[in-house]
Amino acid sequence: MEHPGTLRHADAHLHTLEDRAAHVRERANWMRRRLLQMIVDAGQGHPGGDLSSADIIASLYFDILRIDGSSPTAPDRDRFVMSKGHCTGALYTALAGAGFFPEAELDTYLKPESRLNGHPNRTYLPGVETNTGPLGHGMPVAVGIAVAGQIDKAGYHVFVLTGDGELQEGSMWEAAMFAGHRKLGNLTVIVDRNRLQQGAGTEDTNSLEPLADKWRAFGWDVAGLDGHDHAALLTAFDAARQPRERPLVIIADTHKGQGVSFMRDQAGWHHGVPNAEQMAQALAELNAELKAEKK
């Protein structure tokens, strides 16, 4: 069965779940290596959340989303909203890899007059659906986009990535309540459930559990999975695209700093810049992972 993602990539021939997952895994590894270099060169960034979300974003941009980098405002395109807008390293690498702008432009990340701001800006960069960064803004906008699609009987699907710390914002639950009321089957929210936010754990700051039950109470279908399992992600996203009568939330269990041992599950790497020794170690680990995957 041909999967429903864009055909602009060289992966158009990939039909089996195993092949699709292997391709996404390789692209996610590239994203991790590239975004870390961007952060080091810029001297700032949010590596922890970038790394925790890379597998989710790679699965969407390199397999699932119906998009075309050469036609970023095509009316029938799927919409992806990066509600956790501070994690631009992961978003920008995916956009560049998907052909929305040249990969060489990643070298300008956070530099003066660069289009690659610390928070994504739709007036600057193709492929960005709405400006995000102040937490709690992206999902409400995405709900509005989904409502418009419902009214127009449009064929596009709306995907939203939110951080779990972001779910402490009241605007998120107002949007969730309205989406449940409207029965927005064209809307899928993915929660990057790494259980860490700036400076502490989510459960120590403002407990979210029982998280799945809260979404169900707001009228949502709920799925849970390993947010670093590419086959599981692709299977869930395939299912999300099928006709449904309620919005879907996928609670993706992840690890902050995934792929780099000294960053993994460390709140201190919410933001920060690896030094030369740390960067060398990070790249060595990611390169070793890539070689192991290709065997």
In this predicted model, what pLDDT tens digit does every residue of 233-279 receive, in sequence order? 999 999 999 999 999 999 999 999 999 999 999 999 999 999 999 99
Report pLDDT for 134. 85
Mean pLDDT of 2-16: 51
d(CA 210, CA 181): 21
Q: Assign residue 212 a region: left if phi > 0, alpha if psi is -120 to 50, beta otherwise?
A: alpha
**What DSSP line would sit under 47-112, residue for residue?**
HHHHHHHHHHHHHIIIII----TT-TT-TT--EEEESSTT-HHHHHHHHHHTTSS-GGGGGGTT-T
d(CA 162, CA 109): 22
Tell me the pLDDT tens digit for each residue of 178-212. 999 999 999 999 999 999 998 899 999 999 999 99
Tell me the pLDDT tens digit for each residue of 136-180. 999 999 999 999 999 999 999 999 999 999 999 999 999 999 999
Report pLDDT for 13. 58
Tell me the pLDDT tens digit for each residue of 58-92. 999 999 999 999 999 999 999 999 999 999 999 99
Query: Domain 15-259+273-294 sits in which CATH superfamily?
Result: Thiamin diphosphate (ThDP)-binding fold, Pyr/PP domains (3.40.50.970)
* Domain-wise residue ranges, the chain: 15-259+273-294
pTM to 2 decimal places: 0.95
